[in-house]
């Protein structure tokens, strides 16, 4: 039996595993490796923040994949040995015929002085529960959400969070006592979506009285302020941050990544420079076919890339031509 090893049980990894297993059944051993026993559904994180989702509604045990015939190994990936078709983990060595790298990104709040001490991580499941509690106790004051660096995953998420905070405090009758500020290094909201979207998001923020600071570089976080370059400071009582993030060290220096550390892969097939080794989702630095810009780090792209890779592996494993192509589809 042939074996596909999938590194990461996030959105890309789960979709790839499910599609491949469905296509090949008993003819393919499909194994997912993830250091965490749970899958967290990040698209619902903004709703978790304001109490419209409960943690158990957006969390699933990854060993539940075994019901579909997919093996799950809870272990940390510690090394990729691509010329030997094997991966080392904290639970031993795993051989493969096909490898799908879907390890997402790693957050580095420690690279922003004061982040860990004074801000909550707005992209972290556990911190979101603390934010939810802090919001429920807040009667007045100022909330600032800052994006530490580019690129960051899910470009719309911070805007969604601000609009939800606006709605949350309006419904509580406290909006007049709460100020909201969003700080971004981008020159405009969601530049990838084009100037019309940027303008309309700006207008919506302004109509709702949400302050927007663009082209703002965050230097540090203090007890009650975000420190920007050129001497700027945004005071706040509750600080929410998106930490800098990049690919895991385990992927570096093995001929997989570009100068910025993202995994290089063919934009249509998602195959890396190593035959039978694919990369999908947030780890990749691929350009979107047609418009040529870097693919945003969003689950929808990871999902469609995973489908292409899984279907092509199913064809290859049965001696057929891998004809599926990723088109840049997303929404």
Candidate list 298, 309, 313, 314; residue touching ligand FAD; CB under 6 A: 298
Candidate list 17, 50, 101, 102; residue touching ligand FAD; CB under 6 A: 102
* Site for ligand FAD contains 299 (CB under 6 A): yes
**Distance from C-alpha of 155 to C-alpha of 189, rounded to nearest angstrom:** 8
Please tell me the count of residues contacting ligand FAD according to CB under 6 A.
Answer: 32
Stretch that binds ligand FAD, among 168-176, 217-225, 297-305, 310-318 (CB under 6 A): 297-305
Positions in 12-31 near ligand FAD (CB under 6 A):
12-13
Nearer CB in complex with ligand FAD: 30/225: 30
Positions in 48-67 near ligand FAD (CB under 6 A):
none
Residue 281 φ/ψ region, left for φ over 0, alpha for ψ in the -120 to 50 degree band, beta for the rest: left
Largest CA distance in the chain: 65
Nearer CB in complex with ligand FAD: 46/225: 46
Provide, rounded to whole angstroms, the least separation between the CB of residue 142 and ligand FAD. 21
Q: Do you find a cis peptide bond into 291, omega within 30 degrees of 0?
A: no
How is 86-124 classified by DSSP, letter by letter? EEEETTEEEE-SEEEE----EE-GGGSTTHHHH-EETT-
Positions in 108-137 near ligand FAD (CB under 6 A):
123
Candidate list 77, 135, 212, 286; residue touching ligand FAD; CB under 6 A: 77
Nearer CB in complex with ligand FAD: 225/307: 307
Specify burial of residue 126 (Cβ count, 10 A radius: 0-12, 13-18, 19+).
Answer: exposed
Q: Could you tell me where the beta strands, DSSP code E, fall in the chain?
A: 2-7, 28-34, 38-40, 59-61, 71-74, 77-81, 86-89, 92-95, 98-101, 106-107, 120-121, 141-147, 178-183, 210-213, 218-222, 225-228, 233-235, 238-242, 245-246, 277-279
* Site for ligand FAD contains 8 (CB under 6 A): yes
Stretch that binds ligand FAD, among 153-161, 183-191, 208-216, 258-266 (CB under 6 A): 153-161
Provide, rounded to whole angstroms, the least separation between the CB of residue 230 and ligand FAD. 29
The tokens of 144 are what? 């600032």
Provide, rounded to whole angstroms, the least separation between the CB of residue 49 and ligand FAD. 8
The tokens of 23 are what? 């296509």
Enumerate binding residues for ligand FAD (CB under 6 A): 8-13, 33-36, 42-43, 45-46, 76-77, 102-104, 123, 153-154, 157, 248, 250, 281-282, 297-300, 302
């Amino acid at each position: 039996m042939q074996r596909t090893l999938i590194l990461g049980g996030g959105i890309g990894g789960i979709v790839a595993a499910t599609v491949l297993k469905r296509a090949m059944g008993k003819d393919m051993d499909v194994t997912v490796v993830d250091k965490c026993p749970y899958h967290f559904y990040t698209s619902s994180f903004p709703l978790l923040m304001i109490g419209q989702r409960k943690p158990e509604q957006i969390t699933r045990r990854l060993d539940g994949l075994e019901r579909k015939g997919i093996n799950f190994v809870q272990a940390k990936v510690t090394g990729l040995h691509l010329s030997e078709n094997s991966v080392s983990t904290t639970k031993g060595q795993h051989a493969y015929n096909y490898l799908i790298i879907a390890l997402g990104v790693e957050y580095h709040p420690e690279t922003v002085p004061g982040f860990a001490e004074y801000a909550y991580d707005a992209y972290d499941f556990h911190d979101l529960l603390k934010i939810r509690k802090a919001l429920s106790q807040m009667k007045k004051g100022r909330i600032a959400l800052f994006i530490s660096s580019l690129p960051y995953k899910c470009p719309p998420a911070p805007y969604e969070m601000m609009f939800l905070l606006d709605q949350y405090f309006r419904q509580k009758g406290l909006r007049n006592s709460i100020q909201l500020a969003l700080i971004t290094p981008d020159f405009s909201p969601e530049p990838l979506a084009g100037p019309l979207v940027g303008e309309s998001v700006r207008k919506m923020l302004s109509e709702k009285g949400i302050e927007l600071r663009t082209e703002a570089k965050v230097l540090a976080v203090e007890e009650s302020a975000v420190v920007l370059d050129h001497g700027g400071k945004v005071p706040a009582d509750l600080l929410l941050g998106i930490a800098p993030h990049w690919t895991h060290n385990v992927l570096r220096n093995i001929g997989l990544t570009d100068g910025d550390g993202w995994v290089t892969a063919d934009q249509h097939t998602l195959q890396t420079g190593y035959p039978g080794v694919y990369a999908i989702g947030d780890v990749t630095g691929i350009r979107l076919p047609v418009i040529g810009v870097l693919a945003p780090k969003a689950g929808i792209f990871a999902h469609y890339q995973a489908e292409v890779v899984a279907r092509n592996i199913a064809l290859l494993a049965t001696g057929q031509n891998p004809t599926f192509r990723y088109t840049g589809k997303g929404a």
